[in-house]
A = this chain, B = another copy of it.
């Protein structure tokens, strides 16, 4: 991975998993608003957000989703992996300051098509904030297999 090479499909097995924890900072919402153009006040304006059923700012769902991109892109399968599809469902809002634990698990491997299906879940304090299924394309093996 230090050499920018993620796992190849041949190195992976069903049930294999990886996880990462990230605390969502207020600055993350500002940066996400810039790149997405999403200035929805339920995310960006505390006064407005207090007037909603959420009673305060909540993190953009698509920002939480980006954590999945992080674990898939950095860890499993790692560098070179590309999203083909991502199906997400949101269960509870994430707040600024929350530590989001993102766990991805290999659900299915299709060697021939060079694709895999990953189960993804983001939790905060053990409660599921989001669940997703990702279909990922993985490059051909270039280096020695991982033991």
Contacts and interface: CB of A to CB of B under 8 A. Distances in A.
A139 interface: yes
Interface string A51-83: 011000010111101111111111000111111
Contacts of A38: 66, 69-70, 72-74
Interface stretch (A7-15, A29-37, A105-113): A29-37
Contacts of A66: 32, 35-38, 60, 62-63, 66
Contacts of A62: 62, 65-66, 68-69, 83, 86
Interface size band for A: 35 or more
Interface of A: 4, 6, 20, 22, 28, 31-32, 34-43, 45, 48, 52-53, 58, 60-63, 65-74, 78-90, 93, 139
B79 A84 contact: no
A82 B54 CA distance: 10
A55 B41 CA distance: 39
9 contacts: A22-B37, A32-B32, A37-B71, A38-B70, A40-B78, A41-B79, A52-B80, A52-B139, A86-B87
Given A31-B31, A65-B65, A43 B86 contact: no
B74 A85 contact: no
Nearest to A84: B90
